[in-house]
Amino acid sequence: MSATATMFARQYFHGTRAALDPGDLIVVGYQSNFTDAALSWVYFAGTLDAAIWGAELAAGDGAQRIYVVEPTGPIEDDPNLTDKKFLGNPTLSYRSQHPLRIVAEVTKWQGHSPERLQQMKDGLARLSAEGARILD
């Protein structure tokens, strides 16, 4: 791939609390960032903001981390957002049943305000109390 092609390639991001290294794989079958259930999909986004939400909302005590990831197989729009909340996928949210390879860690990013983060957590708690499935 030429330098020009690399410069214009789409970047994908994954927010989490898992400590990973370049070359590691994020694979299906593990607990998600948001539920105790093991998932049959890995989720990622084409926007840094969506990945920031992933890192901020991820369960656990580890540091919030955002990784640049590379899909290793086919990807599709994330129906949890594109079909239910945002038609046309403006958040550039995706999922795959194939691993994501860690390319690098994004070390400088700005999180959401504590008030905005609490609003999102309250909204997710309300959905959970109503029995909504947050992730397919």
- Domains identified in the chain, total number: 1
The 10s digit of each residue's pLDDT in 24-59 is 999 998 766 666 677 789 999 999 999 999 899 888
- pLDDT-derived band of residue 11, with 50, 70 and 90 as boundaries? very high
**Does residue 78 sit within a domain?**
yes
Residue 65: its pLDDT value, please?
97
Look up the domain containing 110 and give its range: 10-129
**Does residue 75 sit within a domain?**
yes
The CA-atom distances, in angstroms, between 99 and each of 50, 55, 81, 113 are 19, 18, 21, 32
Distance CA 54, CA 43 (A): 9
**Does residue 136 sit within a domain?**
no
The 10s digit of each residue's pLDDT in 96-106 is 999 999 999 99
Distance CA 116, CA 92 (A): 21
**Does residue 4 sit within a domain?**
no
Tokens found for residue 129? 């109390």
Q: What is the CATH number of the domain that holds 71?
A: 3.20.170.40
Task: Give the rounded distance of the alpha carbon of 101 from its chain centre.
Answer: 13
**Does residue 89 sit within a domain?**
yes
Tokens found for residue 7? 């410069």
